[in-house]
Amino acid sequence: MRRRGLKVRIYPTKAQRILFLRTFGCVRLLYNKGLVLRKKAYKAGCPVGFKETSLMLTELKKLPEYAFLLEVDSMALQQVLRDLERAYKNFFEKRARDPKFKSKHHSKQSYRTNNQKGSIRIVGRYIRLPKIGLVKTKQFIPEDVCIHHATVECSKTGKFYVVLNIDVNETLPSAKEEDPVGLDLGIKNYYTDHNGNKQENPALLEQKLKKLRRVSRRFSKTQKGSKNHEKMRRKLARVHEQVADARNDFQHKLSTRLANTYQTICVEDLDIKGMLKKAPKRIARRVHDAAWGSFVRMLEYKVMERGGSFVKVPRDYASSQRCSCCGYKNAAVKDLRVRKWDCPVCGTHHDRDVNAAINIRQKGLSMLAS
């Protein structure tokens, strides 16, 4: 049995859409009220936790002006208070920044609810959700699937999705190649392995850049609050969504192919934030478009699920500057324009990316051995 997340698009009726949006608003309101309570208590020197915020919710439901809280899923309201508790725990343990207030326009519109006694279940081509009822979907899901909880989301283009946390019984294919592989991630080529094989970077954002600029200019000229402003906002969001979906599809297919091929994969732990600070605007845009962070996360969990080994080589290891034959460190290769070079010591001719991939593989294997 494996725990999986299954994202499914749903097609709610007009009444269900209104109830979804109302639930988003209630969850956002409760989160903000809980945050105000905790901030005031923290300043007063008597911190509060989930128990106190839960009592606050009980008192709010008794007030006539907050009677609308009784119309939405009660488990979603309890869950958002638990999310606030976890956010503060991460903040105090220095794993995250202090919690911020949720906004209707800038925060993700979503809520999570738990499956209690079959309150979330599959009925044919429908998904039953608490307080919502049966919601239509086009994707086939087995009715006997074990669902733990569900997260309902609304994208900026107005599409509704439900993310089901389920248990699945599946056997993943074992990797074909026992020989470890080293991968050097880049911009022109998405990756180069130690054998010299290269994967071309699709540059998905660059493909849509002309259209993005045109739609952005039209959006900036609309009057805020007008129907045309909302229409152009959705159109702009739709272009961004197309880029994100294409990138996600590319990364999933590529990471699955690599995980099915190699048992051991070594990559470099890139300092992406540092690269963005130093890089020119055009290069920074290409780095954002590559989204190496999400690709490495996908690759890691897929390799680990198949029983393989995944190694992140430290970012301070100069993989591009070292000669993979003799180990000489050539400082002149710091210049990114140098794509090929000859080692002054042993005379070996190097392709910058292939040499880096070989060094990453060697360093990764030494880390595994130790």
Give yes or no for a contact between 110 and 123, defined as CB atoms under 8 angstroms apart: no
Start-to-end Cα distance in the chain = 32
Q: Compute the distance between CA of residue 98 and CA of residue 37 in angstroms, rounded to an integer.
A: 14
Element at 77 (helix H, strand E): helix 74-92
Q: Does residue 268 contact residue 315 with C-beta atoms inside 8 Å?
A: yes
Q: Which one of 73, 153, 193, 268 is the catalytic residue?
A: 268
Residue from 73, 85, 184, 300 carrying the catalytic annotation = 184
Burial of 259 (0-12, 13-18, 19+ CB in 10 A): buried
Q: Give the strand order in the sheet containing 181-185.
A: 198-200, 189-193, 181-185, 264-268, 309-313
Nearest-angstrom CA–CA distance, 101 and 35 = 7
Nearest to 203 by CA among 297, 276, 291, 278: 291
Is position 268 annotated as part of the catalytic site? Answer: yes
Active site residue 300: no
d(C-alpha 154, C-alpha 161), whole Å: 6
Pairing relation of β-strands 264-268 and 133-137?
unpaired
Is 184 tagged catalytic?
A: yes
Rama region for 259: left / alpha / beta (φ>0; ψ in -120 to 50; rest): alpha
- Residues designated as active site: 184, 268, 353
